[in-house]
């Protein structure tokens, strides 16, 4: 009996530290994953909401977007006033009116998106010891759309067990998200304008007579295909 008790004591002394180390290591990994998902939310919201700002000139008229949820909402008389301000911003200047040609997002800047990303970073830090090495929001303007990329590089101090074995570094992670700023209502408007322009041109040049329009279209098809 005494031998059995001694064996149990020895086994407990040997095995218990490994069990406790495994449990705390799993808890540490769980906390890392929790912070990782919070950073992922940060970059995804920045990319998604930032693309709305880039695609809609009057988006900021709905309120401070960096203090609200992704989909802004108002009520009562405030809604009508803000709606008027929202649509007024669409005709502010020729660059905004023809944003599909000159590029989306001329009413905001990369610095504004960078500030938004950093503000989100302050709100998503959940654990002590986490370091943000880099927060970068970049705009890539182009015809018919502007892409917003949001990237965050962050790190955790190495667990004590790794430091005990001589690893003094930090574990680094990176999360990123991209979103294309395209306004569907603008696309529909432009398609409608093009159709009206084709109809008006056809009537002015009398392309309906003698099948001229069909001959032009057939020539274009032969040239392309």
- 111 and 203 inside one domain: no
- 221 and 168 inside one domain: no
pLDDT confidence tier of residue 177, bands split at 50, 70 and 90? very high
- 217 and 115 inside one domain: no
Closest of 135, 110, 112 to residue 122, by C-alpha: 135
Least confident of 99-108, 114-123, 194-203: 194-203
- Rounded to an integer, the average pLDDT of 123-152 is 82
Per-residue CA distances from 204 to 183, 208, 212, 219, 220 (Å): 32, 10, 13, 20, 20
123: domain range? Answer: 36-182
- 166 and 193 inside one domain: no
| Highest mean pLDDT: which range of 15-29, 63-77, 182-196 | 15-29
Question: Does residue 140 fall inside a structural domain?
Answer: yes
Q: At what angle do helices 110-124 and 2-55 cross, to 10 degrees?
A: 150
Residue count of the chain, please give it.
225
225 token code pair: 């295909």
203 or 104: which carries more pLDDT confidence?
104
- 121 and 203 inside one domain: no
Report yes or no: 96 and 103 within 8 Å, Cβ to Cβ: no
pLDDT confidence tier of residue 140, bands split at 50, 70 and 90? confident
92 or 63: which carries more pLDDT confidence?
92
- 149 and 50 inside one domain: yes
- Rounded to an integer, the average pLDDT of 36-55 is 88
- 108 and 139 inside one domain: yes
Question: Does residue 4 fall inside a structural domain?
Answer: no
Question: Does residue 24 fall inside a structural domain?
Answer: no
pTM over 0.85: no
Q: What share of the chain is helix, strand, coil (3-state, %, to 5)?
A: 65, 15, 20
Q: What is the DSSP letter of 159?
A: P
Question: Does residue 171 fall inside a structural domain?
Answer: yes
Q: Is the pLDDT of residue 41 over 70?
A: yes
Collapsing DSSP to helix, strand or coil, 153 comes out as strand
Q: Tally the domains of the chain.
A: 2
- 56 and 102 inside one domain: yes
- 187 and 170 inside one domain: no
Closest of 179, 145, 157, 146 to residue 43, by C-alpha: 179
Question: Does residue 31 fall inside a structural domain?
Answer: no
């Amino acid at each position: 009996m005494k031998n059995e008790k001694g064996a149990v004591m020895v086994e407990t002394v040997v095995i218990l530290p490994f069990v406790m180390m495994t449990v705390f290591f799993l808890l540490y990994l769980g906390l890392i994953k929790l912070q990782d998902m919070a950073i992922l939310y940060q970059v995804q919201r920045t990319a998604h909401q930032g693309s709305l700002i880039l695609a809609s000139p009057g988006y900021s008229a709905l309120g401070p977007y960096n203090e609200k949820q992704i989909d802004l909402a108002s009520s009562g008389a405030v809604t009508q006033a803000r709606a008027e301000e929202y649509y007024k911003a669409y005709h502010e200047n020729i660059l905004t009116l023809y944003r599909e040609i000159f590029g989306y997002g001329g009413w905001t800047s990369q610095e504004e998106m960078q500030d938004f990303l950093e503000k989100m970073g302050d709100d998503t830090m959940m654990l002590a010891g986490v370091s943000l090495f880099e927060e970068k929001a970049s705009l890539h303007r182009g015809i018919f759309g502007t892409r917003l990329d949001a990237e965050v590089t962050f790190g955790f101090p190495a667990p004590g067990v790794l430091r005990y074995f001589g690893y003094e570094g930090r574990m680094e992670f990176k999360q990123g998200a991209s979103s294309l700023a395209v306004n569907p209502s603008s696309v529909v408007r432009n398609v409608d304008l093009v159709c009206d322009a084709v109809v008006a041109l056809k009537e002015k040049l009398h392309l309906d007579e003698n099948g001229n329009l069909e001959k032009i279209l057939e020539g274009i098809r032969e040239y392309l295909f």
